[in-house]
Structure 1
Amino acid sequence: MDETDTDAVTRLRATAHPVRLRILSLLTAEAMSAAEVARALELTHANASYHLRQLHDAGELVVESEEKIRGGVAKRYRYDASRDVRTHRPGIDERVAYARANALEVERRLQEAAPGASSSSDLETWVDVETWHRALDLLHEASHLLHAAARPAGTPETVHVSATTQAFTMSGGLTGEAVRWKPAHEETR
């Protein structure tokens, strides 16, 4: 990432926090106010409000609605995973910060894992560019599928799931335009 791209740096820093990752996941399924987020995640109202403002200011959340409550205005925030976001190329420091926050969140989720179907994979290997692009397309499709199907917590006939992916090219092989990837659905644009 170009270190002068302050919008991209701000977005990455805003999301590189375990509580904010939980908030983004929670708000994928439904819009919620700070009070509702605080109750759902067992945070103080002030803490939830702070994190929501940070995510909103970074462009990660949208205000879906506002309602008057006891003489004030409560904003209901939502995370729109389908929004048109340009591909970011964050620097290594920002990617490491995000990975650390993500690792803490995955650890918390694993503590709550139920017995049953699951999948886990870790791999560092060399593949041809076509295979790499196909794998990225499949990961991208799976992520969009889950985000689009997200329902409010506790909805009847739903299962509480966790899905985390990290996929990136390593140094030592082809780089730059030789391996540049665009999601399959964006190639038709």
Structure 2
Amino acid sequence: MTATDPLLRALAHPVRLRMVSLVWTAPLSAAELARELGISHALASQHLRRLDEAGVVELAEVRANRGGRERRYRAVHGTPLSDQRGEAAAPLLAEALAHTLRERAGRRAHDAEGVTADAELWVSPDAWEDFRGRLAVLLDDLHGAARPPHTPGTTAIGVTAMVFPLREDGPQAADPPNG
């Protein structure tokens, strides 16, 4: 995968990542996405076109709305982020995920429990494959349990995960931020 890959370019933007999450369980129009994301209708339409061109979302329905036609899109289910390979993929996706994580962390419900982890570990190949497989199943289960945004009786949650093997030739220590 190269930096010019349309799928990578479509997913390597934090607004588009949020859009994919929002249309995972129910189709939404550009106007609905604009309201949910606090962006203009034109910008939401532009992002939707990019996701549609990359095959990440698809037209789910066209319905009449105030004398016009409203196009509603849904996510194409699958795991386009699950195994992005190549030199260009990881840094671009990491930047988009980091932006999304910062935004979601600012909206965290401080009175509710969560799970936070960070690790650089050395484990056996079998332990890695077992963990990776179980995590993929858990994330798939969570996506399967998702309901449309703001469904009564649901809790909005944020999940950001990027788990991968490291090259042995990378830097062994990094300077702390602002250190």
Map Cα deviations across residues 69-123 of structure 1 (whole Å, 9 max, x no partner): 3554321101133x38697543222210111011011100000000211001111
Query: Identical aligned pairs, as a percentage?
Result: 36
Pick one of 101, 106, 115 that aligns with 2:101.
106
Unaligned runs of 5+ in 2: 170-179
- Alpha-carbon distance change, 89 to 16 in structure 1, aligned in 2, over 3 angstroms: closer
- Alpha-carbon distance change, 122 to 17 in structure 1, aligned in 2, over 3 angstroms: same
Q: 1:47 aligns to what?
A: 43
State the alpha-carbon separation in 1 of the partners of residues 67 and 150 from structure 2.
Answer: 31
SS of the aligned residue for 1:62 comes to strand
TM-score normalised to the size of structure 2?
0.85
Is contact 1:65-1:77 (8 Å) kept?
yes
Pick one of 9, 18, 24 that aligns with 1:28.
24
Pairing 1:159-170 to 2, within 5 Å after superposition: 159-170=155-166
Tell me by how many angstroms 1:144 deviates: 0.5
Aligned residues: 168
Tell me by how many angstroms 1:29 deviates: 2.0
Q: 2:172 aligns to what?
A: none
Q: 1:185 aligns to what?
A: none
Pairing 1:141-156 to 2, within 5 Å after superposition: 141-156=137-152
RMSD of the alignment, in Å?
2.2
TM-score normalised to the size of structure 1?
0.81
Unaligned runs of 5+ in 1: 174-189
- Alpha-carbon distance change, 85 to 15 in structure 1, aligned in 2, over 3 angstroms: closer
Q: Which amino acid aligns with 1:66?
A: V
State the alpha-carbon separation in 1 of the partners of residues 76 and 15 from structure 2.
Answer: 18
Q: Which amino acid aligns with 1:101?
A: A
